[in-house]
Structure 1
Amino acid sequence: MQEIRIPKRITTALVNSLTAGVVPRIGLEHVAVGRKPEIEAMLTDLDNIAEGGAAFRIISGRYGSGKSFLLQTIRNYAMDRNFVVADGDLSPERRLVGTKGQGLATYRELMMNLSTRTRPDGGALETVLQRWFGALQQQVMEERGFAMDDPALNAEVEQRIVQVTNEMQNMVHGFDFARVLSAYWIGYRMGDDERKQSAMRWLRGEFPTKTEAKQALGVGVIIDDDNWYDYMKLWSEFTAKIGYAGLLLFIDEGVNLYKISNSISRTSNYEKLLTMFNDTMQGKAQHLGIYLGGTPQFVEDQRRGLFSYEALRSRLIEGRYAKDSLRTYAGPILKLDMLSYEEILILLQRLRQIHAQHFGYTPTVTDDQMIAFMKLAVGRLGADELLTTREIVRDFLDLLHTLHQHPDTSFDILLGDRTIQPAAANPDEVDDLLAEFEL
């Protein structure tokens, strides 16, 4: 296997994150295996969104199957393709709607994590605005020959800002959104930090009352639990108008909606999800992609899951011709199967090399030993139901850590003489599958 040379900061993120069982934010391309049809389907979404379309996908898979990994991978692809992205996890405190501001909390989380290619770790909101202003100034100077200190420059830039914001005023809440953007520009131009920060607070959904917003910015509305999604649609339009490809929302842990015990509250969240689905599917939203991660139970449970809400079930359910062997990837739900044994072995090969490079040693675990490790893992009782890629990766990294930090021990000692126990997964079938993979 050809040696991979990876910067130390990336190997650090990969080793630390995967050891802890969480998805790294960087370096995913070095450990990505499988998922080719799913990734291709989502990249097609990006092309459509960049052309003014919209997309809605539910990434369905059980815990540890790679939902978060896939979402993070597409997030990184999207930033490279000049999208603005925002990601956040749902929780008891963050929902789509709620009586205690849980919807607004989700909006704030997404805005806090707003990212671009030049600001991939979040906090990009102010950068997006200032980049736009700087680009307008540069454009005007090149077209009109103005110097940076020419008073006519600011007047021309302001006129072009007004042209964009005027187009926004025809949308729901667009007038107030445009006024706040103009307020930020005035503060930016005049060096008025208080006005700038007031505008930023409003855009992040941090004003508690309409009265305070009126006093600070002259606008009579605020972003709240009821209207936050309307502002996400405004952001998608705005990002496209100022030179980005669009806006993508990556929302994980959808199972927290399933866990809402109050049926009325749960239904209200499903109604909001239906609104998002209809907007994106029917062309009411532009330059917007919404990707939601959740478990099969969250999606398919007909008592509490999405399928308990008939309007969603009828839209999300697979067509009658869809079969496992003839699966399509055009529908709104992308079902993630576990990686194949062959794909997991390729992943372990890569992790072996990354671990050795990170800690500066020559790999000692052989391909045959990795096959033995895999046989032990997939042969455990109930492995076909319980074993996940996350668990295999954590166990393998734990094995590598132990071998590296205790050189007096050996691979064979750590695995011991344990034999494969009878399991739902047929050992002969396991052997056949592993034999097909030629290392």
Structure 2
Amino acid sequence: MSTPAVSARRREEIIAALRRGTVPSHGLDQLAVGLERFQGALGEDLDRVAQGGFAVKAVRGEYGSGKTFFTRHLAEQALQRGFAAAEVQISESETPLHRLETIYRRITESLRTASTQSSAFRSVLDSWLFALEDDALLGDPGLESDAARLSESVGVLLNERLAAVTATTPAFAQALRGYHAGTTAGDAALADGLAAWLAGQPHVAAAAKRAAGIKGDLDHFGAMSFLQGLLAVLRDAGHPGLVVVLDEVETLQRMRSDVRDKALNALRQLMDEIDAGRYPGLYLVLTGTPAFFDGPSGVQRLPPLAQRLATDFTTDARFDNPRAVQIRLTGFDRSSLVQVGQRVRDLYALGRDTEPRIRSRADDEYLVDLAGAVTGGLGDRVGIAPRLFLKKLIGDVLDRIDLFDDFDPRRDYRLTVTAAERTEAGGARSAAGSGAGSGEAGGGTATQRAAADANDVDLDV
């Protein structure tokens, strides 16, 4: 199987993440299996958003079905098109959904672009202000020798570009003007303070806010206007859109009923405003389990929200509409698990001196055996397997073949799934008992005695 071109450094980053049992933050095109049916519709969404439209997509799947992988793969595709992306993990204590000011802050904290893989908010602000300066100089080249007039001209352009935001939240433009003044004057304390305030951070120094003529901290209503401002800044800085992933929204089901209702109403409000066209360039993606979308403790508690997300899943999954507002992931079967194992094996082996040995001893037949041992007696129901399978494949098999000349996994390796691994990532659906289980992947057969003990491990790749 051929592996798409990728640098050695990127290959090692991908392999290192999988060795830890986590989803890589990039390079997911190297691993994507079974997502082809969604690509056309997602591409249409991104095209529409890039042209000033908007999109909302709910991703539905059980634990282990691949929701995290799917959304990060979508974000990576968006980055390749020049978008920015942000991922927000919903939780009752850290990021409650009904506190939209917290959601906005998490967006700015996790903001990334193709050129800045983390903490991109400040660089986006700087890029935007540089673009305004270029536009001002294009209109009047003489401004280059007059810093005061250039700053004034940038302020005029700033007001024009943010007119829609300024009408409801003038403080956003005021803070940006103050930030520009601070960076121009070399006042790091002022610039840092106002950048933090624009990012929704609390406890910004009063001196910085006073210098910009602003007061207080960001609240629920201001956050939505700030999101509108962020989209405008991104667009003028050369990023046609923003993908925002609200991950693990199903955690709402475990919250107190009053908090849950507030969160669901906030989500409905946000979707209403998106549909009204208030956020051009926004692609909102939310993930959840079927119980969240269909059960009494989730979306169904708020009929208007349930109606917005309603999608018919009574037909064969092969005929699901990828353009629908809600799509479902059916997870891996044994065949797709082997396919992703082949991709990882090829990615691992590429460019190594030990490549022939790796390909020979971890051949396709062995990958079939290992997949069978990990999944146990589940047949084609592979709800547990992808992350655990890849972690075992790399750490227990491929690394050893690479390091030890005489290591043969068929002879020298016996698969073991520990109790800790069964509950890794908090995904175990039910108690599977205590103690370690083991299965063998060797000699062309896979005894599945203990792999069956891992049946209830949910690893959300």
CA distance in 2, matches of 1:37, 1:3: 20
SS in 2 for 1:384: coil
1:16 deviates by: 1.4
Quote the Cα distance in structure 1 between the aligned partners of 2:304 and 2:329.
24
Runs of 4+ in 1 over 6 A off after TM superposition: 209-213, 421-424
Identity %: 23
Structure 2 contact 63–383 (Cα < 8 Å) conserved = no
Q: Output the CA distance in 2 between the equivalents of 1:419 and 1:236.
A: 54
TM alignment of 1:163-242, pairs within 5 A: 163-170=160-167, 172-173=168-169, 175-208=170-203, 215-225=210-220, 227-242=222-237
Task: Report the Cα offset of residue 203 of structure 1.
Answer: 0.7
Change (3 A) 1:5 1:36: closer
Give runs of aligned pairs for residues 220-369 of structure 1, distance below 5 A: 220-225=215-220, 227-260=222-255, 262-302=256-296, 304-319=297-312, 323-357=316-350, 360-362=353-355, 363=358, 364=360, 365-369=362-366
1:15–1:227: structure 2 CA closer, same or farther, 3 Å change rule? Answer: same
SS at match of 2:402: helix
Distance 1:404 1:169 in 2: 60
Cα separation, partners in 2 of 1:56 and 1:201, compared to 1, 3 Å: same
How many residues end up aligned between the 2 structures?
A: 416
Unaligned runs of 5+ in 2: 414-440, 453-461
User: 1:9-158 alignment to 2 at 5 Å?
Assistant: 9-97=9-97, 103-119=100-116, 121-146=117-142, 148-151=144-147, 152-158=149-155
SS at match of 1:53: coil
In the alignment, is the contact (CA less than 8 A) between 1:60 and 1:296 conserved in 2? Answer: yes
Q: Do the aligned partners of 2:60 and 2:67 also contact (CA within 8 Å) in 1?
A: yes
State the Cα distance separating 1:263 from its structure 2 match: 0.3
Once the two structures are TM-superposed, the CA of residue 187 in structure 1 deviates from its matched residue by 1.6
Q: After TM superposition, give the deviation of residue 241 of structure 1 in Å.
A: 4.3
Is the partner of 1:123 in helix, strand or coil? Answer: coil
1:224-245 deviation line (CA, Å, top 9, x unaligned): 3454234223322342244421
- The one-letter code sitting in structure 2 at the alignment partner of 1:22 is T
> Does structure 1 conserve the Cα–Cα contact (< 8 Å) formed by 2:190 and 2:208?
no
- CA–CA separation in structure 2 for the residues paired with 1:42 and 1:3: 23
Paired residue type of 1:179:
Q
Contact 1:383–1:423 (CA<8 Å) still a contact in 2?
Answer: no
In 1, the alpha carbon distance for the partners of 2:408 and 2:223 equals 56
How far apart are 1:291 and its partner, in Å? 0.9
Q: Which residue type is aligned with residue 323 of structure 2?
A: A
User: CA separation in 2, counterparts of 1:92 and 1:26?
Assistant: 28
Aligned to 2:377: 380
CA deviations over 1:342-393 (Å, ceiling 9, x no partner): 4332221111122223754122222222223334445524762643322332
Call closer, same or farther: CA 1:206–1:11 in 2, change over 3 Å.
Answer: same
- How far has the Cα of 1:55 moved from its partner? 1.3
- Cα 1:390–1:232 shift into 2, 3 Å: same
Letter in 2 for 1:186: A
Normalised to the residue count of structure 2, the TM-score between the two structures is 0.81
Q: Using a 3 Å threshold, how does the CA distance of structure 1 residues 358 and 338 change in structure 2: closer, same or farther?
A: farther
Asked if structure 2 preserves the Cα contact closer than 8 Å seen for 1:95 and 1:269, the reply is: no
**1: distance between equivalents of 2:205 and 2:188?**
21
